[in-house]
Amino acid sequence: MDMNVVVCVKQIPDPTAPQALDPATGTLVRDGKLILDDSDAYGVEMGLQLAEQSGGGEVTLVSMAPNAETSGLRTALAMGAAKAILVSDPLLAGSDALSTAKVLAKAIARANPDLVIAATESTDGYTGTTPVQVAELLGMPSVTFAKKVTVQGPAVHVERQTEAGFDEVECPLPAVVTVTAGVVEPRYPSFKGIMAAKSKPVDQLSIADLGLTAGEVGAGGARQQVVDVSAADERKAGEVVVDEGDAHERVVAFLEQLKIV
């Protein structure tokens, strides 16, 4: 069976660069260059492997952004995804997780996938509910926190992380699966892949194209707001010692003082 996989990806501000909230809206400032969220590289790799194993499937990326940024998508296309759908509309700025899920669900439905893969959460917003909201809106089952994914016939088999260990879960397709980091080793885009990515199709859609209105998504549809941002209590640095072969004694003394040993 040809497996057509949709992988949800997010383009985020570089997490290693200083970040800030917009004081007026309380939302994350996203006006710099955006990159592919590291967390999404695992989903892209997983999707590519499953599509390749199926013999003739392909990976479609689905993403949304308030601007037409595509640099993060090009990274995933360079890894081997066939094409991308980018819902790009200024009206999307300030969307909450549920609005995001509504947009993604509409876009995903267009690709008619056998399997939808997403990260367990994004690195910048880390709400962690969007993929399951997408599944509910699409009427699909979902298996979250996958640490191993295989497709066997018409079902996906997942080792799902639990508090105690893991559950082996079987789920008929189509389904939504969220993958943890480490599920697979993401490939580095090859030079050939990077060149090919430049000409791969990125279908840009507005919210109107998806049949959504400004009242349903973006700041207009958000029913939650940040009302204040303030500095947290600073924790002070304590004593720092340089190990000269006996630093472990200081650690033992510290633990003794706390009656841990």
Partner 1 sequence: MSIEKVWVLAEAADGAPISTVLELVTKAASMAATVEAITWGAGGQSGAAVLGDYGAKVVYEVGDIGDALPGAPVSAALAALIESGNRPDVLLVPATYDGRDIAGRLSARLDLPVITNVVDLEVSGDEVRSKHGIFGGAQIATARFTGERPWIFVVRAKSFAAQSSGGAPAEVQAVQVPALGATNAARVLSRHAEERTGPKLDEADVVVSGGRGLGSAEGYAMVEELAKLLNGAPGASRAIVDAGWVPYSHQVGQTGKTVKPTVYIACGISGATQHLVGMKGSKNIIAINKDQDAPIFSVADLGVVGDVHKVLPKLIEALKARS
Q: Which is nearer to partner 1, 208 or 251 (CB)?
A: 251
Does residue 174 have a cis bond before it (omega within 30 degrees)? yes
Selected range binding partner 1 among 46-54, 61-69, 124-132, 187-195, rule: CB under 8 A: 124-132
Terminal alpha carbon distance of the chain: 60
Binding mask 61-100 for partner 1 (x = CB under 8 A): -----------------------------------xxx--
Angle at 137 between CA 135 and CA 142, to 5 degrees: 15
* Residue 195 vs 247, nearer CB to partner 1: 247
By CB under 8 A, which span of 46-54, 106-114, 172-180, 207-215 interacts with partner 1? 172-180
What count of Cα atoms within 13 Å lies in the side-chain half-sphere of residue 141? Answer: 11
Q: How far is the CB of 44 from partner 1 (least distance, A)?
A: 14
Count the neighbouring beta carbons within 10 Å of the beta carbon of residue 211.
8
Query: Considering the rule CB under 8 A, would residue 241 count as an interface residue with partner 1?
Result: yes
Q: Does 55 bind partner 1 (CB under 8 A)?
A: no
Which of 30, 82, 141, 204 binds partner 1 (CB under 8 A)? It is 141
Q: Which two tokens stand for residue 34?
A: 């955006």
List binders of partner 1 among 195-224 (CB under 8 A). 222-224
Distance CA 146, CA 169 (A): 9
User: 92: closest CA among 239, 215, 249?
Assistant: 215
35 binds partner 1 (CB under 8 A): no
For residue 23, state whether it binds partner 1 (rule: CB under 8 A). Answer: no
Is position 191 an interface residue for partner 1 (rule: CB under 8 A)? no
Indicate the Cα dihedral angle 238, 244, 245, 250, nearest 10°: -20
